[in-house]
Amino acid sequence: GGGSGRPGAVAGGAGGAGGPLDGLRTALSLAGAARGTAPLYDIDEAARVDDALFVGAVTPTLVAALHRLAHGLAPLAPRDDLPFAANYLYMVTGAEPTAAQVRAIERYLICTVDHGFNASTFTARVIASTGADLVACVVGAIGALSGPLHGGAPSRALDTLDEIGSPERIDPWIREHVLAGDRIMGFGHAVYRTEDPRSRLLRGVAEDFGGDLVGFAVQVERRVVELLAELKPGRELHTNVEFYAGVVMELCGLARDMFTPTFAVARTLGWTANILEQARDSKIIRPSARYVGPPAPAPVPSP
Please identify every stretch of the chain with a pLDDT value under 70, giving residue numbers as ranges: 1-18, 151-154, 184-195, 233-241
For 95, counting Cβ atoms within 10 Å of its Cβ (0-12 exposed, 13-18 middle, 19+ buried), the class is: exposed
pLDDT for res 191: 44
| CA count, 13 A, side-chain hemisphere, 86 | 12
Q: Does the 153-249 domain belong in CATH 1.10.230.10?
A: yes
Where residue 94 falls (left for φ over 0; alpha for ψ -120 to 50; beta otherwise) is left
d(CA 235, CA 193): 8
pLDDT for res 236: 57
pLDDT for res 195: 66
pLDDT for res 73: 96
Q: Where are the domains of the chain?
A: 20-150+256-279, 153-249
Contacts of 151 (CB under 8 A, 6+ apart): 14, 21, 120, 145, 260, 263, 264, 267
**Residue 292 CB neighbour total at 10 angstroms:** 5
d(CA 81, CA 214): 31
d(CA 198, CA 204): 10
pLDDT for res 7: 34
| C-alpha dihedral, 209 to 215 to 221 to 222, nearest 10° | 120
d(CA 240, CA 98): 27
Q: Which CATH superfamily is domain 20-150+256-279 in?
A: Citrate Synthase, domain 1 (1.10.580.10)
Measured in degrees and rounded to the nearest 5, phi and psi for residue 187 equal -130, 140
- 125 within 8 A of 275, measured Cβ to Cβ: yes
Buried b (16+ CB within 10 A) or exposed e, 180-212: eeeebbbbbbeebeebbebbebbbebbeebeee
Angle between helices 259-279 and 134-145 (to 10 degrees): 140
* Among 104, 73, 141, residue whose Cα is nearest residue 246: 104
pLDDT for res 300: 78
Residues marked as catalytic? 189, 242
Q: pLDDT digit string (tens) for 189-241?
A: 444 456 677 778 888 888 888 888 888 888 888 887 787 777 776 665 666 66
For 256, counting Cβ atoms within 10 Å of its Cβ (0-12 exposed, 13-18 middle, 19+ buried), the class is: buried
Strand partners, 39: 133
pLDDT for res 302: 81
* Among 46, 269, 13, residue whose Cα is nearest residue 141: 269
* Among 241, 244, 268, residue whose Cα is nearest residue 88: 268
